[in-house]
Chains A and B, each alone.
Chain A
């Protein structure tokens, strides 16, 4: 089936650092969504992207819908301790079913020891 490759799998952050993660697919997508999940909670929607090339911000978070429609990235600027958690990308395949919203395996953000 359709797969999303999300990288990196994990990363450590120090307060104040910028963070970048990305997601790629093997086919063209018509939607890219970015979520954050805290332990014991459901994922929370951060940013939604619907057009190739679209760049959208939500506070210190910025995400872009890749021009090839096969990738997306999420940047976090000036990270703070509460940014720790798991970030997921998700999307819908352009040629697929309307309801087939699939997820990457996540990027785990932890604090540098």
Chain B
């Protein structure tokens, strides 16, 4: 398995509270991604990073922010959690980007419930 650790694995939080999910990698890969997975929607890209302090928005970035201060860590923050953000969140890593041979490997996921 690729060295990817997501924490926490499960979390229940109240509407309006801030939440931070952590993705930690030991592979020294340049690219890191956050996806959410919901029934009927597949995997939707929230944000991605192509280097330390280099991030960009994905398809469903509203209500989410990210930070990458070290190569190995990519944090996803929900500033004020809403029930629509109840989902399973996956982190992925890739050594290369789109035109250079992307091969993304996924973590085990974090199940977040907003009540």
Contacts and interface: CB of A to CB of B under 8 A. Distances in A.
Contact of B102 (A6, A92, A103, A104): A92
- Interface size range of chain B in the complex: 20 to 34
A1 B108 CA distance: 27
Nearest to B90: A42
Contacts of A94: 99
Nearest to B49: A99
B42 A105 contact: yes
A7 B44 CA distance: 17
A88 B43 CA distance: 9
A99 B106 contact: no
Given A42-B107, A45-B103, A50-B101, A101 B94 contact: yes
Nearest to B59: A1
A84 B42 CA distance: 17
A48 B103 contact: yes
A101 B104 contact: yes
Interface of A: 1, 6, 30-31, 33, 35, 40-45, 48, 50, 88, 90, 92-94, 96-106
Interface of B: 31, 33, 35, 40-45, 48-50, 56, 58-59, 90, 92, 94, 97-109
